[in-house]
Chains A and B, each alone.
Chain A
């Protein structure tokens, strides 16, 4: 082994020690957070799979970034580990082994070069500047220098004039990387690994639906999150895992509409605020659009939200809870959980809601309906139709949950179509009528957990009085709440969305359809697609109707929100554009004449778009049209 190579190994050992100290210092900050239940053994065992499969599934959506990361991270970790192993005499003495080390560092150098090429000459808007712009140079210095040393060792010291400068270069670059491990770009490596192990929603790596909000203990001394110390420690680690790649900001509908929300900045503000004496000056990415003035200071026990703190309340209330950021995040950060936790404190402890959101919550408290309308009027849309009440009969095969859309005149057309289809297919169904209260979705997303739990318990008690096999609903928000969030409060139901249900009926031949001649693009509701993974049934159904189906630029699990979720239309935070206008533009770009929707919120938001645009039709309306297009005799279900 050459002297330079031996020095390199020692230098890397020293760097590793420095890195460990820096990382340890950062990890100590997380101890300010509340304890969390973590299955360490299971997390550690699953880490390789979570990293290599789940993370890289997300990273791989940007193939350049995936290659870049594989080369840089693989080369850097591989080269450094091998160089450390060279301290063992039999390995260190082998020229072949040093050739391997040189190869690893050459790979890292190529990765570093790709990092640089992505950021220079022009940095894409979604990437952060500041320390991140220095990253390619530090990577290149460390990997390049170490490569020269290893090459010299592999060639038995024949290029020694290169080895010594190489050693200094590697030491300087390595020191630059290690010293800023707590605040610089490399933080994502150790925080991210730990976050994968101790992830607060570990089941999402096991292919389970992990989108339900966790119930809040309403007896707790403090409700919701006011300071970083109120977050569980593994949530704090999650914020530190952010690599500021900006994929969330590209996906965020509120960001696109110029509302003061940028998920990346939000996570950075949360990560910064856990440091004692924190300020937000070091952030070098895109800001919150039309950012409201804040003091930008914080600390582990200081408030996070407020004009005198880190995050302006308008930022919180801009979120539609569409989970697009969560879907795009390669570090598996749970942005929406953080936003709802912060909203809970604002709503439950401070009563600091946007003015327009306060009235619907008050109506929910005293009338079980966000607009204070009579519960008995929910079935008014069905005037003239036969709408069986479950209380008037022994029970039904299918309970039809109507949801809030039933009060809306436009959406009433959809529900009428659905009811007619159920009759045509001979489905044994019934509705709750005035026994149906609001499901509590809006209350929960607006942070009013107390009202949500009251409504949920009341609904569960109502449902327990009736006998049915499954619940059918055309409202994905109600579906998500009934299917995924009521179980934690003791209500376990089989819930099916009308798109899947109609798909079954058409597939079984219980509804005869004639092909429709039109082109259609399907807009995935967030609460059906991303929250529940149901993206195939609606498409299958549209195909069965013989429609020419065109896909929007963003569809399926990566679809864009209509702007109607999370109580965002109620809090109504001002931006530059309206989210549904943006989405409608995307629909119009496909050239389709119809946007097919499957959610009352999406219907209302997209119908609100003015100007020349594709027609908004619910899937149920399209199915009814196809059924009516059948010659009358053939329409009868086979008996």
Chain B
């Protein structure tokens, strides 16, 4: 029997997409569910101003929540880096993107860079790895495809909405749960030149088939182009893999010569 893993779940202050009210981010509640399924000892981490609904995560199967208090204009990154430095978590779970905030999905990457952790995005299932300090991650890829990876811990894993549904909310569990309030690190966001623009739908890139091709060929070209192309190599020798990658990069014009 291995010791329960120490897992930190990053929680953000979300907003309901319809009502606009403060609400937990579903994918983060799914992250709690994945951590619970691992039998891990979990700590929720939130850096931000006071919020009523952050504690709602306690109703979804989280026993402990650390709230790092910072101001409205502060960047949570510094506080999270400091807190994760002391928490010594083997695994950090985050949602792939927040809901109702900036929703850039960048924070996990910035955090992983600062902590020197590998990032595995879009997990839909987690299992203990075959060796100690490893984790098997099932990654959700487009069109329902799944990829299984083994990562060495510590690592940061972001969770995809394709993960199992979160545990239903239990009012009494929220009432019982503990929120530890700590002072975060004030770190005013720098003046970032973020330009806001109205959303513009982009045209979908469809491969063109030769003029005069049959309808079936045009359909094939239109549907196959989006499926990625390329080849799947299973356990190739490193040299062959490198050659393939270079060839592909030359094919698509990233590398020249």
On whether the two chains bind one another, the answer is yes
Which chain A residues border B173 with CB–CB below 8 Å? 349, 351
**Per-residue interface assignment for chain B, residues 21 to 48, with 1 indicating a CB less than 8 Å from any chain A CB and 0 otherwise:** 1110000000000000000000000000
Q: Is A275 an interface residue (CB 8 A)?
A: no
Smallest CB gap from A447: residue in B: B171
The reply to whether A372 and B16 contact each other, CB–CB distance below 8 Å, is: yes
Instruction: Among B18, B21, B61, B171, point to the contact of A373 (Cβ < 8 A).
Output: B18
Known A-B contacts A349-B172, A349-B173, A351-B173; A374 and B165 likewise in contact (beta carbons under 8 Å)? no
Known A-B contacts A351-B60, A351-B173; A366 and B168 likewise in contact (beta carbons under 8 Å)? no
Tell me, in angstroms, the Cα distance from A45 to B171 when the chains sit together: 42
The reply to whether B170 and A348 contact each other, CB–CB distance below 8 Å, is: yes
Tell me, in angstroms, the Cα distance from A352 to B171 when the chains sit together: 11
Q: Separation in Å of the A358 CB from the closest CB of chain B?
A: 4
The reply to whether B18 and A362 contact each other, CB–CB distance below 8 Å, is: no
Q: Is A56 an interface residue (CB 8 A)?
A: no
The reply to whether B18 and A372 contact each other, CB–CB distance below 8 Å, is: yes
Q: Separation in Å of the A57 CB from the closest CB of chain B?
A: 40
Tell me, in angstroms, the Cα distance from A449 to B171 when the chains sit together: 9
The reply to whether B19 and A223 contact each other, CB–CB distance below 8 Å, is: no
Known A-B contacts A366-B21, A367-B16, A374-B18; A353 and B172 likewise in contact (beta carbons under 8 Å)? no
Q: Is B95 an interface residue (CB 8 A)?
A: no
The reply to whether A348 and B18 contact each other, CB–CB distance below 8 Å, is: no
**Per-residue interface assignment for chain B, residues 1 to 32, with 1 indicating a CB less than 8 Å from any chain A CB and 0 otherwise:** 00000000000000010110111000000000
Smallest CB gap from A355: residue in B: B165
Question: Which residues 400-455 of A have a CB within 8 angstroms of B?
Answer: 448-450
The reply to whether B18 and A352 contact each other, CB–CB distance below 8 Å, is: no
Which chain B residues border A350 with CB–CB below 8 Å? 170
Q: How many residues of A contact B (CB 8 A)?
A: 27
* Number of cross-chain contacts by CB at 8 Å: 61
The reply to whether A351 and B21 contact each other, CB–CB distance below 8 Å, is: no
Known A-B contacts A367-B19, A367-B21, A374-B18; A352 and B168 likewise in contact (beta carbons under 8 Å)? yes
Tell me, in angstroms, the Cα distance from A352 to B170 when the chains sit together: 8
Q: Is A347 an interface residue (CB 8 A)?
A: yes
Which chain B residues border A450 with CB–CB below 8 Å? 171
Question: Which residues 189-204 of B have a CB within 8 angstroms of A?
Answer: none
Tell me, in angstroms, the Cα distance from A367 to B170 when the chains sit together: 18
The reply to whether A366 and B16 contact each other, CB–CB distance below 8 Å, is: yes
The reply to whether A448 and B21 contact each other, CB–CB distance below 8 Å, is: no
**Per-residue interface assignment for chain B, residues 134 to 162, with 1 indicating a CB less than 8 Å from any chain A CB and 0 otherwise:** 00000000000000000000000000000
Q: Is A361 an interface residue (CB 8 A)?
A: yes
Known pairs A349-B173, A366-B22, A448-B171. 14 more at Cβ < 8 A?
A348-B170, A350-B170, A352-B170, A357-B168, A358-B169, A361-B169, A362-B168, A365-B169, A366-B16, A366-B53, A368-B19, A373-B18, A374-B19, A375-B19
Which residue numbers of A lie inside 8 Å of B, CB to CB? 218, 222-223, 347-353, 355, 357-359, 361-362, 365-368, 372-375, 448-450
29 pairs, A vs B, C-beta closer than 8 Å = A347-B171, A348-B171, A349-B170, A349-B171, A349-B172, A349-B173, A351-B60, A351-B61, A351-B169, A351-B173, A352-B168, A355-B168, A359-B165, A361-B169, A365-B23, A365-B56, A366-B19, A366-B22, A366-B23, A366-B53, A367-B16, A367-B18, A368-B19, A372-B19, A373-B18, A374-B18, A375-B19, A448-B171, A449-B171
